[in-house]
Structure 1
Amino acid sequence: MKVVGISGLPGSGKSLISKLAKEKGIMVINMGDLVREEAKKRNADVGETSIKLREEFGEYVLAKLTIEKIKNINKENNLENIFLIEGIRSQYEIKMFKENFKEFLLLSVFASPKTRFNRLKNRNRNDDSSIYEEFLKRDQRELDFGIGAVIATSDSIFINEDSLEEYKKQINSFFKNIIS
């Protein structure tokens, strides 16, 4: 089983990678969705919930939940498949994934703050802010989790500043290489 981890700050372009992966039959697990589900249960803010989960259950909590989910899907479907994990934010998570999956590859996406802020304003998801100061606070929270070190230690990095078509070409080329 191959597992590809995706990292990048909010608005960098992770979701498009996930969308194209699904179109190619790749199973996608979004770590942010796990946090959003828990935030909904707690009737709390997503960022606050992310911090609380780590405080309550340790730095490995989201990685453990993700690994469990992948293993259950794999067991139920008896798949030797490719999985994509969207939203890796810490070295703790990478460590867990490398320990549990022999073929683990980490891909990060970079886009400038200006580009990401403009995308988030248009994305209109409930945890996105149209206020620049709030956007910067969210970035800082992500950096505090260790996402900068994750991006720096990636096996591959996509720069997502060009056109949507150019970015899609990068992604499709990447998938072509790992699927073959």
Structure 2
Amino acid sequence: MTVIATVGLPGSGKGEAANVAAELDVPVVTMGDVIRAECRDRDLDPATHHGQVAQALREENGPAAIAERSLPLIEDALEDSDVVLVDGVRSGVEVDEFEAAFDGEFALVSIEAPFDVRADRIDERGRDKGSDEGGESLEERDERELGFGMGEAIDRADVSIDNTDSLDTFRARIRTLLTEGVAAYRSQYSQ
């Protein structure tokens, strides 16, 4: 059993990593889905209130709240698969939660790209509404994510992937990581 989690700022490539996992029939647990479900439970639009609800969950239930709510989903996925990808770790506290739950079978992957590259990607997807359109700008999203402790999580990553090469190169690296493991990834793409 292996639990591989991704951490990275918006637009870094976490969603694309999840797409590769899905193509390989590796179950994906998206931590943001926990927040979107909570938005719906609170009769709020996830597109507009995602950040506020994420912050509220952490304030109401502690900084590990979203990781704790994700654990049963991960454990269920592990019943049918040897590898599970967890999309979207946001803090060192969440890393602690997963390390405790999965002992030596947990690996954290930091997916990284510069601000301008991420901004272009988000603009192409049409997902950064900006604060003047009722949403958060990328700068605001980055600030919120880093406020949750994402910088600490990125620093603790077992593997870092610079996602500035071609999409095919990035996808190949994710495939190696998911099918061959962290050690094989390191030997092939020595950091």
- Name the structure 2 match of 1:23: 23
Could you list the structure 1 runs, at least 4 aligned residues long, displaced by more than 6 angstroms after superposition.
none
> Size of the alignment, in residue pairs?
175
In the TM superposition, residue 175 of structure 1 has moved relative to its aligned partner by: 2.3
In the TM superposition, residue 164 of structure 1 has moved relative to its aligned partner by: 1.1
After TM superposition, the structure 1 stretch with the greater mean CA deviation from structure 2, 166-175 or 141-150, is 166-175
- Name the structure 2 match of 1:3: 3
**TM-score where L is the length of structure 2:** 0.84
- For residues 23 and 80 of structure 1, do their structure 2 counterparts lie closer, same or farther at Cα, with a shift above 3 Å needed? closer
In the TM superposition, residue 72 of structure 1 has moved relative to its aligned partner by: 3.3
1:7, 1:106 within 8 Å by CA — same for their partners in 2?
yes
Q: Give 1:137's aligned amino acid.
A: E
SS of alignment partner, residue 3 of structure 2: strand
1:121, 1:130 within 8 Å by CA — same for their partners in 2?
no
**TM-score where L is the length of structure 1:** 0.89
- Name the structure 2 match of 1:118: 120
Q: Which runs of 5+ in 2 are unaligned?
A: 185-191
- Name the structure 2 match of 1:79: 80
- Name the structure 1 match of 2:163: 160
Q: In the alignment, is residue 175 of structure 1 matched against residue 172 of structure 2?
A: no
- Name the structure 2 match of 1:54: 58
Matches of 1:160 and 1:130, distance apart in 2: 24
Residue-by-residue CA offset, 1:86-133 (whole Å, 9 max, x unaligned): 0000111111101111300000100010011111112234xx335698
2:14, 2:111 within 8 Å by CA — same for their partners in 1?
yes
Q: Which runs of 5+ in 1 are unaligned?
A: none
1:7, 1:107 within 8 Å by CA — same for their partners in 2?
yes
Matches of 2:76 and 2:160, distance apart in 1: 29
- For residues 131 and 113 of structure 1, do their structure 2 counterparts lie closer, same or farther at Cα, with a shift above 3 Å needed? farther
Q: Give 1:95's aligned amino acid.
A: D
Q: Give 2:111's aligned amino acid.
A: V
Identity %: 34
